[in-house]
Amino acid sequence: MFNLLVVGGSLLGVYVILCLTVLKMPRCKSSAKLHGKTVIVTGSNTGIGKATAMDLAKRGARVILACRDPQRAEAAVNLIKKESGNNQVLYMHLDLASLQSVRSFVENFLKTESRLDILINNAGLATRGKTKDGFGIIFGVNHLGHFLLTVLLLERLKECAPSRVVTVSSDAHKFGKIDFDCINTHKKLGLGDSALALLGLYSDSKLCNVLFTHELAKRLEGTNVTCFSLHPGAIKTEIGRDANLWWKLVLFPITMLFFLDVDSGAQTSLYCALQEGIEHLSGRYFSKCATVDLSAKARDDATARKLWEVSERLCGLA
């Protein structure tokens, strides 16, 4: 019994140390107020996006919750209004799995809103299926939908400069690859739909986010519009809600012990959106509210440019 207590105490001590060091997420310390500013946050009816929208609303911004599910989005709008005391919070329908929905969202937004100061590409998923346009849904939602959304909103962002584009990626991008042959042949990032295959496709899509930001920064030079990609941390979100039961059983204890809350997950998004003096770091990748050096494949100019050109073609922009 004594030995069990010693082992248990040691494990608890290690866990506490991890929580106070490796797992601890720094806070965004910006005191910026956003009265008169307009922000779009995709996927903001839950998780990191909702926590991000809440913080921005508390700072006085006009916050557009760009989401697919009207019922959940309206519930989020009501909660954010109540807790922030800001009535300038509204829902606009956006289904990133449909390029037509992206176009309709942008058309509606440009007609009804005069400003766009910050665009936060937050939504993401890791599930099976295809988009309405026949793309693999992970590729279509995590990259193509956000690519089209950003490109169609660039002129408004330039008009309202200084402005920012923040794209939530993940350290999973380190395991990703870009298979252009598979994209051109199968309209997806890779083949297979097992749990491990989905994790691979998710990693691929997160690499797309980083490369997209890298290329976007080059195209925005001289416009006073800056862009950043980021790792939010290991966060308890609903991204794995469509995983099978066995996979959930494997992940549940890990998630409960080592993953952080969504408020912690929003901090680097907020840092990239609000922190003064980081404009010269446009195109860079952030984690824990600081820049992180990328591997060669994540900052490869030729791959980033080709991904942009392929994405333009697939979205009907070329």
pLDDT tens string 4-45: 554 444 444 333 343 444 456 899 999 999 999 999 999 999
Sheet strands (E) in the chain: 38-42, 62-67, 89-93, 118-121, 163-168, 225-231, 285-287, 290-292
Q: Is residue 277 part of a domain?
A: yes
> What is the chain's pLDDT, residue by residue, as a tens digit (318 residues)?
555 554 444 444 333 343 444 456 899 999 999 999 999 999 999 999 999 999 999 999 999 999 999 999 999 999 999 999 999 999 999 999 999 999 999 999 999 999 999 999 999 999 999 999 999 999 999 999 999 999 999 999 999 999 999 999 999 999 999 999 999 999 999 999 998 999 999 999 999 999 999 999 999 999 999 999 999 987 555 545 455 554 545 454 554 455 578 899 999 999 999 999 999 999 999 999 999 999 999 999 999 999 999 999 999 998
- Please, how many CA atoms are within 13 Å of residue 208, restricted to the half-sphere of its CB? 30
Residue for token pair 């829902």: 91
Q: How far from 190 is each of 49, 149, 165, 193, CA to CA, in Å?
A: 27, 23, 27, 9
Copy the structure tokens of residue 305.
């440019």
Q: Is residue 6 part of a domain?
A: no
Q: Is residue 140 part of a domain?
A: yes
Distance CA 259, CA 261 (A): 7
Tally of structural domains, the chain: 1
What pTM did the predictor assign? 0.88
Q: 304 lies in which domain range?
A: 29-314
- CATH (domain of 228): 3.40.50.720
CA 50, 54, 56: angle at the middle one, nearest 5? 115
What residues are annotated to the active site? 202
Please choose, from the candidates 255, 252, 1, the residue with its C-alpha nearest in 3D space to the C-alpha of residue 9.
Answer: 1
Please choose, from the candidates 73, 80, 85, 88, the residue with its C-alpha nearest in 3D space to the C-alpha of residue 38.
Answer: 88
